[in-house]
Amino acid sequence: MGRVSRGLGIPRSSGGRLQAGRTGLEEQATGGRLEGPARKPPTKRQLDAIYAALLEVYGHQQWWPTASEDPEEQRFEICLGAILTQNTSWRGAASALANLRAAGLLDAASILETPLDVLGELVRPSGHFNVKARKLHAFCETVVFDGAGSVDTLLEGEPDEVRERLLAIWGIGPETADAMTLYAARKSTFVVDAYAYRIFERLGCPPGARKYDVYREFFLGRLGPDVTVLNEWHALLVRHGQQTCTKSRPRCEGCPLLRRCAFGRAEVQRG
Ligand code: SF4
């Protein structure tokens, strides 16, 4: 993965602070005015059309942004970034990563040797900094002791094997494990976040209940194992959710998905 511009789409966790927002399910549940289409999962054809529309407007997102030049250091940096961006914006995570870099701490052994209070101060811009410092220690402990110091050892194997290994580390949940598996290990998985829930519920074609595994399994099954496609899908959904299909006051009038979206048409009518 090459070095990319910070101006491109950026990772963001769906954690506690980022909620899906109003999606139209509320109106339907209470018999309200939104006349949405039958809510059934998107077909492959619909998914392809949504992907093409988003790609045309936003272009390739070139995730995951890293500042490192060395490929293994890039993978390690992606893993750290996936932890640091939990429950916060990428801006805070990037600032914390820059502090770690400036302190010469972009390797697992060095992070592990750093006292938690010192590490906490360095990652303060990412929020929840004491917990994040503990999570970084837990991750680096696994790299050092189970991976003989190499993040690549930790990321070796079949996608599900890698994901399970990561999920076993304290502080790493499904979204973080999938981000590491897809963007650091470059293995097939789908990263689910609140943007995916919001966009597909608003489009009237949620894959099912708003549950992580329901969405992940659906998209993996429908999209197939191509890592480049899976990478771009998640990145485009984040970009669309941040830029256009925002939590409140989505910019429906200029949205490339408007003609497919009953929620958006209702928003436009409402003015
Ligand atoms: S029209 Fe677009 S921006 Fe508006 S709700 Fe639908 S997907 Fe979101």
Pocket of ligand 1 (CB under 6 A): 199, 202-203, 244-245, 250-252, 255, 257-258, 261, 263-264, 267
Tell me the C-alpha distance between 192 and 10, whole Å. Answer: 15
Of all atoms in ligand 1, which is nearest to the CA of residue 244?
Answer: 3
pLDDT tens for each residue of 40-52: 999 999 999 999 9
Pocket probe mutation, ligand 1, options 34, 51, 198, 255, max atoms within 8 Å of Cβ: 255
Tell me the C-alpha distance between 100 and 78, whole Å. Answer: 13
Per-residue pLDDT at 12 exceeds 80: no
| CATH topology agreement for domains 25-59+190-270 and 71-184 | no
Pocket probe mutation, ligand 1, options 202, 248, 269, 270, max atoms within 8 Å of Cβ: 202
CA nearest neighbour of 159 among 186, 128, 127: 186
DSSP 254: G
Please give the CATH number for the structural domain made up of 25-59+190-270: 1.10.1670.10
Domain ranges, ordered by start, for the chain: 25-59+190-270, 71-184
Higher local confidence (pLDDT), 115 or 1: 115
Expressed in angstroms and rounded, the spacing between residue 16 Cα and the centre of ligand 1 is: 23
Pocket probe mutation, ligand 1, options 26, 199, 248, max atoms within 8 Å of Cβ: 199
pLDDT tens for each residue of 154-190: 999 999 999 999 999 999 999 999 999 999 999 999 9
Cis peptide before 64 (omega within 30 of 0): yes
Is the distance from CB of 65 to CB of 77 less than 8 angstroms?
Answer: no
Is the distance from CB of 162 to CB of 185 less than 8 angstroms?
Answer: yes
Average pLDDT, the chain: 90
pLDDT tens for each residue of 57-79: 999 999 998 999 999 999 999 99
pLDDT tens for each residue of 23-34: 877 655 544 444
Per-residue pLDDT at 145 exceeds 90: yes
* Mean pLDDT (whole number) for 118-131: 97
71-184: CATH architecture: Orthogonal Bundle (1.10)
Is the distance from CB of 155 to CB of 138 less than 8 angstroms?
Answer: no
User: Which residue's CA is the closest to the ligand 1 atom numbered 8?
Assistant: 245
Higher local confidence (pLDDT), 20 or 237: 237
Pocket probe mutation, ligand 1, options 54, 248, 261, max atoms within 8 Å of Cβ: 261
Q: What is the DSSP string of 221-256?
A: HHH-S-HHHHHHHHHHHHHHHHHTS-SSS--GGG-T
User: Which residue's CA is the closest to the ligand 1 atom numbered 6?
Assistant: 264
User: Which residue's CA is the closest to the ligand 1 atom numbered 5?
Assistant: 264
pLDDT band at 92 (very low <50, low <70, confident <90, very high): very high
Percent of the residues in the chain that have a pLDDT greater than 90, as a whole number: 82
User: Which residue's CA is the closest to the ligand 1 atom numbered 3?
Assistant: 245
pLDDT band at 56 (very low <50, low <70, confident <90, very high): very high
Expressed in angstroms and rounded, the spacing between residue 14 Cα and the centre of ligand 1 is: 18
At 31, list the tokens.
Answer: 């018999």
Angle between helical axes of 44-58 and 227-243 (0-180°, round to 10) = 60
